[in-house]
Amino acid sequence: MRVEKGKVRAPEIGRIWLNSPPLSFRQLRGRVVLVDFWDYTCVNCIRTLPYVQAWHERYGNRGLTVIGVHTPEFTFAQNESNVERGVRQFGLTYPIVIDSNYEIWKAFANRCWPTKYLLDKEGYLRFAHFGEGAYAECEEAIQELLREVDAGVALPPVMAPLRDEDRSGAACFKPSPELYLGHRRGRIGNPGGFREDQVSEYLFAGDLEENLFYARGHWASTAEYLESVGETEHSLMLKYSAAAVNLVMASPRGASSEVIVRQDGKPLTRAQATPDTRFRVANGEEQSYILVQQPRMYALVDNREFGERQLELTCGGGLAAFAFTFTSCVDPSRSDVPASAAAEQ
């Protein structure tokens, strides 16, 4: 989204910074500034970060300053040490400002993760993009504003897409929507719904409906998350349409929690595994599972193709589950992608 030159000036920001001493837009006058609102648990943000880091590396010495504004979606992401861990995990070296109280978010009247705002050399807003994608368009806008600073600046060609599914012609299907497990925003399919702010036994038998999750076992229902209670077996189930599924999880009562992952009634195959998947043999059967140690987003399954499936997660006590997210874009070179499903990226 282009913004008319000289109309909207960015507000000042900043108290707690990572990778940099405190900055202000006033001191950055004369440079182009990219402001990226993100959260380290947000799958759409995570997919955007490699591009933001690459722009920092490409244009930092050509007049661009990148500022990541970390505004947390969940309470645990207000913890600076968790954000620092996320910054290290994703290899981010540009300045990050902590916005745990949503002060910067509100000053920009921001409304979603991720969002990018591009400011010109006078500190005026010139470009904005909400969500994933439009990477070439954003980089072209960066180059345009850098040339306003220095018409003779030498700039590289716009980057090629970093992932196959970001290429023009990629098939992006409509996935299941984000699914929260806290009672404030969650959608549970069990009869009677949530037992809000209490520990209760959840029972379910029958067919699963899409866009809902189902629980079995003893769970504590809070506004933000559902937490398994007691050492008996606990399960979460859902029917979904996507290529891959993620879940924000934490283990607030202990050092770690194990989550057994089964899809369509079977353990994951190696082809469906994610970087978070582990395998072992238990009771004569191979299990696919995830070890939850730090509060973050975990990749549950990656089918590499879009489809409708059922997922079941089994755990002991002490697992906090916050939100399922789904991805749906598929490599356009795959022969099994229907041409009618392709969406230009």
In a domain, 274, yes or no: yes
Total domains in the chain come to: 2
The backbone region for 318, taken as left when phi is positive above 0, alpha when psi lies in -120 to 50, beta otherwise, is left
Residues 197, 289, single domain; the answer is yes
Residues 219, 321, single domain; the answer is yes
User: 88: buried, middle or exposed (CB in 10 Å: 19+, 13-18, 0-12)?
Assistant: exposed
Give, for all 345 residues of the chain, the pLDDT tens digit: 565 565 455 555 667 999 999 999 889 999 999 999 999 999 999 999 999 999 999 999 999 999 999 999 999 999 999 999 999 999 999 999 999 999 999 999 999 999 999 999 999 999 999 999 999 999 999 999 999 999 999 999 999 999 888 887 666 788 999 999 999 999 999 999 999 999 999 999 999 999 999 999 999 999 999 999 998 999 999 999 999 999 999 998 878 999 999 999 999 999 999 999 999 998 888 999 999 999 999 999 999 899 999 999 999 999 999 999 999 877 666 545 444 333 333
Residues 25, 118, single domain; the answer is yes
In a domain, 338, yes or no: no
**DSSP percent split of the chain into helix, strand, coil, nearest 5:** 20, 35, 45
The parent domain of residue 137 ranges over: 16-162
CB 73 within 8 A of CB 40: no
Return the CA Rg of the chain.
22
In a domain, 147, yes or no: yes
In a domain, 46, yes or no: yes
Q: Return the number of other C-beta atoms located less than 10 Å from residue 155's C-beta.
A: 16
Residues 220, 148, single domain; the answer is no
**Nearest-CA neighbor of 28 among 49, 14, 8?**
14
pTM: 0.89
